[in-house]
Amino acid sequence: MIKKTDITWCPGCGNYAIRDVLEKVLHELPIPRKDIAFTSGIGQAAKMPQYLEVNYFNGLHGRSLPLAVGIKLARPDLTVVSYSGDGCLYGEGGNHFIHAIRRRLDLTIITSDNQIYGLTKGQSSPTTDFGVKNALDPRGNENIPLNPLSLAINMGAPFVARGYAGDKDHLGGIIREAILFKGTAVVDILQPCVSFNNINTYQWYHKRVFKVDNTPADRYEAMKLAEQWGDKIPIGIIYRDDKAECRELAKIFREPLTEADIREHLAMKCVMMR
């Protein structure tokens, strides 16, 4: 078991709540722990798999998704979850975020989105609001924030949700649905950073978040919901398409190449040689 004292997050960090939720969801899932593999990048959120009873590959900053894609392609039998922060998944790994969704794999992509870089101490992240002053933006962030939900819907993700670390039960339901969903499920979690983000606090979120009761079936309606930000911030499953088809994957693990394969292959005329 993991001792709480070994956890390196700041006291009060939203990630503690998310960890509790994940442990509970994983405990209740009808999937043996040995069949669950997490990948993560680098950052405070990316430490998450360390504190869970799962297989994990904690890789490079921004690269949790290519690892997850590789694992899933090699082992469709594993339940694969990519977990990282907003800087890692939407900044350094933004290109992978776009293209991993296009691959139509049964993956769950979860982001602890605190709208700030925590581990490097308070710089703007891709989701930092316009004008917010941060360590490297002393005059205020000049960039428009990235909207992970509308981007995910745009790229064709069939399951797109937003959770909030301040509402554990609601978040648990979303994560459970996301992992069980057959297809690429994107979950962005609003996660207050108590050390470096004094704007997007628990109080700030409490006043703004509202639960989506009816998930739009229409992609364009979902897009409108995903674009909502500011005074009213929707949480819940923003878009869900149960009819979307996953890619068929060939079984390769435990089906090793054999001498017969190679002989047959060599006999095939134009592939390798005559």
The contact set with other proteins (CB under 8 A) reads 6, 8, 33-35, 37, 39, 42, 47, 49-50, 53-60, 63, 65-75, 77-78, 95-96, 98-99, 249-253, 255-259, 261-266, 268, 271-274
Residues sharing a CB contact under 8 Å with residue 82, sequence separation 6 or more, in sequence order: 38, 39, 40, 64, 65, 67, 68, 89, 100, 107, 108, 109, 110
Pick 224 or 265: Cβ nearer other proteins: 265
Pick 56 or 229: Cβ nearer other proteins: 56
Pick 6 or 142: Cβ nearer other proteins: 6
Amino acid, res. 177 = E
The minimum distance between CB 176 and other proteins, in angstroms, equals: 20
The minimum distance between CB 261 and other proteins, in angstroms, equals: 5
Strand pairing category for 107-113 and 159-164? unpaired
Question: 151-184 burial, b for 16+ CB within 10 Å, e for fewer?
Answer: bbbebebbbbbbbbbbbeeebbbbbbbbbebebb
Locate 236 and state its tokens.
Answer: 């819940």
Helix (H, G, I), strand (E, B) or coil at 186: strand
The minimum distance between CB 101 and other proteins, in angstroms, equals: 11
Pick 13 or 171: Cβ nearer other proteins: 13
The minimum distance between CB 58 and other proteins, in angstroms, equals: 5
Pick 104 or 170: Cβ nearer other proteins: 104
